[in-house]
């Protein structure tokens, strides 16, 4: 699978098969995150990998899933993630704009490699951070930022293009169709790509 294919296939998944993920694979995902760009090369991020089944259940209890489709979007028994990467950041860097960019670049790198490894992911920010901090025994110099849930995909979400000009909170909400498949609306390419100047048509700029 090449990079373009991994990007196209990466979707947020909320139903997972129960096959375990090897530690070698989890290590590779963190290595991908480590290699991502870092503002001023400050490298403020660390990770806790969780693959113990009992601890995974406790981590799951700290997470909130899919506000737009709650409670359907919450993984049921037998569909929960089999591993997690908990992203940690040093608090002194949170005030710097670079930390947020670092997190996005690092976790996207991990998610794309996960796709290439036959895995699926869900990046969660709505979490019980104090409980997770205690659960993982984190030192005070590190804070929980977000959690990357991982497992073999047990569903295949799809995307649909919005019509040009469609905007607003209502039209961007994802939903479950009559077959229970998650559908994610995305702004159409022609709505976001401009050539030379804002509003420039593709027909005038393409070669």
Verify cis geometry, omega within 30 degrees of 0, for the bond prior to 71: yes
Measured CA distances, 109 to 34, 103, 105 (Å) = 9, 10, 6
pLDDT-above-90 percentage for the chain? 65
How much is the mean pLDDT over the chain? 90
Q: Is the pTM of this model over 0.75?
A: yes
Measured between its terminal Cα atoms, the distance across the chain in Å is 27
pLDDT band at residue 204, thresholds of 50, 70 and 90?
very low
Q: Could you read off the pLDDT of 19-78 as tens digits, one per residue?
A: 999 999 999 999 999 999 999 899 999 999 999 999 999 999 999 997 777 777 799 999
Q: Give the chain's domains with CATH numbers.
A: 3-156 (3.40.109.10), 159-205 (2.20.180)
Indicate the range of 21-25, 152-156, 182-186 predicted with least confidence: 182-186
What pLDDT was estimated at residue 99?
Answer: 87
Q: Residue 206: is its pLDDT beyond 70? A: no
Q: What share of the chain is helix, strand, coil (3-state, %, to 5)?
A: 35, 20, 45
The more confident residue out of 85 and 181 is 85
């Amino acid at each position: 699978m090449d990079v373009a294919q991994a990007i196209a296939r990466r979707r947020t998944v909320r139903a997972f098969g129960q096959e375990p993920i090897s530690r070698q694979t989890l290590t590779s995902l963190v290595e991908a995150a480590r290699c991502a760009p870092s503002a001023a090369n400050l490298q403020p991020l660390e990770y806790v990998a969780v693959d113990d089944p009992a601890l995974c259940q406790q981590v799951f209890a700290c997470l909130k899933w899919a506000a737009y489709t709650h409670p359907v979007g919450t993984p049921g028994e037998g569909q929960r993630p089999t591993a997690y990467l908990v992203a940690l950041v040093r608090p002194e860097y949170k005030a710097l704009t670079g930390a947020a960019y670092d997190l996005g670049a690092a976790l996207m790198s991990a998610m794309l490699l996960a796709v290439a490894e036959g895995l699926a992911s869900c990046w969660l920010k709505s979490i019980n951070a104090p409980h997770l901090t205690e659960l993982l025994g984190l030192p005070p110099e590190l804070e929980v930022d977000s959690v990357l849930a991982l497992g073999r995909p047990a569903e295949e979400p799809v995307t649909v293009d919005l019509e040009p000009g469609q905007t607003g909170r209502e039209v961007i909400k994802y939903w479950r169709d009559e077959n229970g498949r998650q559908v994610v609306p995305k702004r159409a390419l022609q709505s976001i790509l401009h050539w030379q100047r804002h509003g420039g048509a593709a027909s005038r700029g393409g070669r």
